[in-house]
Amino acid sequence: MKPEPTPTPRMPAANAPCKLPPPLFDARCKACWLTAALLVLVVASFWSLDLQWAQFLSLDAVASMGRFLAEFFPPDTSPDFLRKVAVGTWETLAMSTLGTLLAAAGGLALALPASRMHTGDTARARAPTRLLLNGLRSVPELVWAGLLLIAAGLGPFAGTLALAAHTTGVLGRLFAEALENAPPGPGAALRVQGVGRLRVFLYATLPQVLPQLMSYTLYRWENNIRAAAVLGVVGAGGLGQLLAFHMGLFHMGKTATVLGAMLLLVALVDALSYGARRLMTR
Partner 1 sequence: MHAAIPAPRSPGTAPQRDPAWLGRVFLISALAVALWPLLVATEFKPWALLDARSLAVTGQFLADFLPPAHGADFLALVARETWRTVAMATAGLTLALVLAVPMSLLSARVLSVSALSGRMARGPFWLRQGVRWALIVLRSVPELVWALVFVRVVGLGPTAGVLAIALTYGGMLGKVYGEILESGDTHATEALLRNGTSRLQAFFFGLLPQNAAEITSYTVYRWECAIRSSVVLGFVGAGGLGQQLDSAMKMFNGGEVVTMLAVFVALVALANRVSAALRKALA
Told to check if 275 binds partner 1 by CB under 8 A, we report: no
* Residue 77 is a binding residue for partner 1 (CB under 8 A): no
First to last CA, the chain: 84
9 vs 120, beta carbon nearer partner 1: 120
The count of chain residues that interact with partner 1, using the rule CB under 8 A, is 68
User: Distance (Å, rounded) from C-alpha 157 to C-alpha 76?
Assistant: 28
Using CB under 8 A as the binding rule, whether residue 143 contacts partner 1 is answered as yes
Q: Which residues are CB-neighbours of 112 under 8 A, at least 6 positions away?
A: 179, 201
Residue 194 near partner 1 by CB under 8 A: yes
Amino acid at 195: V
Residue 76 binding partner 1, by CB under 8 A: no
Query: What are the Cα distances from residue 127, in Å, to 34, 64, 103?
Result: 33, 55, 20
The Cα 117–Cα 15 span in angstroms is 47
The nearest distance, CB 188 to partner 1, in angstroms, is: 9
Alpha-carbon distance 219 to 213, whole Å? 10
Chosen residue from 28, 29, 55, 121 binding partner 1 by CB under 8 A: 55
* Site stretch for partner 1 (CB under 8 A), options 12-20, 75-83, 141-149, 171-179: 141-149
Question: To the nearest whole angstrom, how small is the minimum distance from the Cβ of residue 119 to partner 1?
Answer: 15
* 207-224 core/surface letters (b: 16 or more CB in 10 A; e: else): ebbeebbeebbebbbbbb
Q: Is 218 in the site for partner 1 (CB under 8 A)?
A: no
Q: Which of residues 222-241 bind partner 1 (CB under 8 A)?
A: 226, 229-230, 233-234, 237, 240
Q: Is 274 in the site for partner 1 (CB under 8 A)?
A: no
Does 94 bind partner 1 (CB under 8 A)? Our answer is yes
Please state, in angstroms and rounded to a whole number, the distance separating the CA atoms of residues 111 and 178.
Answer: 9
Output the smallest distance, CB 177 to partner 1, in A: 17
Rule CB under 8 A: is residue 1 a binding residue for partner 1? Answer: no
Question: Which one, of 149, 153, 269, 148, lies nearest residue 219 by Cα?
Answer: 269
Distances from the Cα of 192 to the Cα of 14, 195, 200, 202, angstroms: 53, 7, 10, 16
- Contacting residues toward partner 1, per CB under 8 A: 30-31, 34, 41-42, 44-46, 48-49, 51-53, 55-56, 61, 64-65, 68, 90-91, 94-95, 97-98, 101, 135, 138-140, 142-143, 146-147, 149-153, 155-157, 159-160, 190-196, 199, 226, 229-230, 233-234, 237, 240, 243-244, 247, 259, 262-263, 266-267, 270
